[in-house]
Amino acid sequence: MQKLRERNLTAVLRGLSQPVLGICLGLQLLAERSEENGAECLGIIPGCARKLEGSPSSPVPNMGWCRVTTEKEHPLFDGIDSGTHFYFVHSYALGVADFTVATATHTTPMTAVASHRNFCATQFHPERSAAAGARLLANFLAMHG
């Protein structure tokens, strides 16, 4: 957020009307705030990105393949089954809320995919998620093509 503010990009990003896809940190930046350094974020998606809880079987950062469950129909998931695995690398996440399209679980459920107005975002890395990630990216392009 500091870099976005230094470059006077926060108002530009908030005002975008074209389709936007945030990836990983991009999802967290769309939130109102983050526990990471107490950051005030873009405020596009309600909520706060909170540090993941760890456990012996679920260390932080969460790195690896996690099952993603669709919670509501969305064009991003056309041709992608609920329960498909995607690749995650993160230590913070948004909880589950009205904007949640799909969830994953570390020690507790979290938003894996969010959608609000023209903004979509994934907590996982579609570009590192093999065929399912490529399909999701193609779906995003098709939604606005």
Domain that holds residue 136: 20-143
In a domain? residue 4: no
- Residue 82 is encoded by which pair of tokens? 């609920």
d(CA 133, CA 131): 5
Structural contact between residues 137 and 130, judged by C-beta atoms closer than 8 angstroms: no
| Active-site residue flag, 24 | yes
- Yes or no: say if 122 and 111 are a contact pair by the CB < 8 Å rule: no
The length of the chain in residues reads: 145
The single residue of 6, 48, 125, 144 carrying the catalytic annotation is: 125
Look at residue 12 and tell me if it is in a domain.
no
For residue 12, the model assigns a pLDDT of 97
The pTM of this model reads: 0.96
Q: pLDDT tens, position by position, for the chain (145 residues)?
A: 999 999 999 999 999 999 999 999 999 999 999 999 999 999 999 999 999 999 999 999 999 999 999 999 999 999 999 999 999 999 999 999 999 999 999 999 999 999 999 999 999 999 999 999 999 999 999 997 6
Supply the CATH number for residue 124's domain.
3.40.50.880
d(CA 69, CA 103): 5
For residue 144, what pLDDT is reported? 76
Q: Does some domain include residue 7? A: no
Domains: count for the chain: 1
What pLDDT is attached to residue 138? Answer: 97
Is 125 catalytic? The answer is yes
Residue 137 has a pLDDT of: 98
Catalytic residue among 32, 36, 71, 127: 127
Identified catalytic residue from 6, 24, 32, 106 = 24
Sign of CA dihedral 16, 68, 64, 97: positive
Residue 124, in any domain of the structure: yes
Measured CA angle at 24 (ends 19, 30), to 5 deg: 55
Q: Please state whether beta strands 20-23 and 119-122 pair in parallel, antiparallel, or not at all (unpaired).
A: parallel
Would strands 31-34 and 45-51 be described as parallel, antiparallel, or unpaired?
parallel
